[in-house]
Amino acid sequence: DIQMTQSPSTLSASVGDRVTITCRTSQSVNSWLAWYQQKPGIAPKLLIYKASYLETGVPSRFSGSGSATEFTLTISSLQPDDFATYYCQQYNNYSGTFGQGTKVEIK
Amino acid sequence: QVQVQESGPGLVKPSQTLSLTCSVSGFSIGSGDYYWAWIRHHPGEGLDWIGYISYRGRTYYNPSLKSRVSISIDTSKNQVSLNLRSVTAADTAVYYCARPGRLGELSLTIWGQGTLVTVSS
């Protein structure tokens, strides 16, 4: 099984801040990694697929990078609507493990 | 516009089988080689991948659930089903059905609203 390590678990930031979340996998997943945003009581929303591809309709302040075992989600300028929990998910070789999540809170 | 909707009992007794249905509208399941996924979200915790099924019925399961789970597809009803046997309180969660937005992808674009299943006597 591929293990996921997502950090930090909680992040306090202000509107306008640049925010970075990291996801590490226990073995290479090539570029088969996605990032999701989830708000309470609502299904997750896909932001980034294949490590760095922006999903249609997602603001360009979101970006993803990385390959193999280390990946990053960056929000270039945090907006009020961005306070939420973010998850990475690897989907290499028909598996689908999620990271533990990062809650982005208002500072 | 493709939409998915989960349905099933909101309360299941311990040791029984949890059975959920995902009804698909706006897309014929049998018409394209998409994989369909079940995901769950435990209250106050993270997301848990349960498994995938292809339109041809090929399945891939989370190893931690593999002994108890089965996912099936019914193209005539345009539905995907989840069965989870021998449930315990640890299976209490919101269960989601989801599908990728692109062929060849497993990242999940289309999600249902989720259905809460509580395991309790």
- Model pLDDT, residue A36: 98
B109/A87 Cβ within 8 A: no
Which of A2, A49, A92, A100 best probes binding to B when mutated, by most B CB atoms within 10 angstroms? Answer: A49
Per-residue pLDDT at B31 exceeds 90:
no
Whether B47 has its CB under 8 Å from any CB of chain A: the answer is: yes
The one-letter code for the residue type at B74 is: D
B62/A96 Cβ within 8 A: yes
Mean pLDDT value across residues B87-97: 98
A34/B108 Cβ within 8 A: yes
Tell me what the pLDDT averaged over chain B comes to.
96
CB A85, CB A101: distance < 8 Å: yes
Which of A25, A46, A73, A92 best probes binding to B when mutated, by most B CB atoms within 10 angstroms? Answer: A46
**pLDDT interval class at B32 (50, 70, 90):** confident
- Model pLDDT, residue B43: 86
Residue A8: asked if its preceding bond is cis (omega within 30°), the reply is: yes
Per-residue pLDDT at B44 exceeds 90:
no
Exposure on the CB side of residue A17, measured as CA atoms within 13 A: 15
Find the CB nearest B107 among A1, A34, A43. A34
Mean pLDDT value across residues B82-89: 98
- Please tell me the distance in Å from B16's CA to the nearest CA on chain A: 26
How, if at all, do strands A10-13 and A102-106 pair?
parallel
- Please tell me the distance in Å from A71's CA to the nearest CA on chain B: 15
Place of tokens 């090929």: B58
CA A93 to chain centre: 20
> A41-61: per-residue pLDDT in tens?
999 999 999 999 999 999 999
As a whole number of Å, the end-to-end CA separation of chain B is 39
- Model pLDDT, residue B14: 98
CB B92, CB B118: distance < 8 Å: yes
For residue B20, give the H/E element and its range: strand B18-25
DSSP assignment of A84-100, as one string?
SEEEEEE-GGG--PBP-
As a whole number of Å, the end-to-end CA separation of chain A is 36
The one-letter code for the residue type at A41 is: G
Mean pLDDT value across residues A72-87: 97
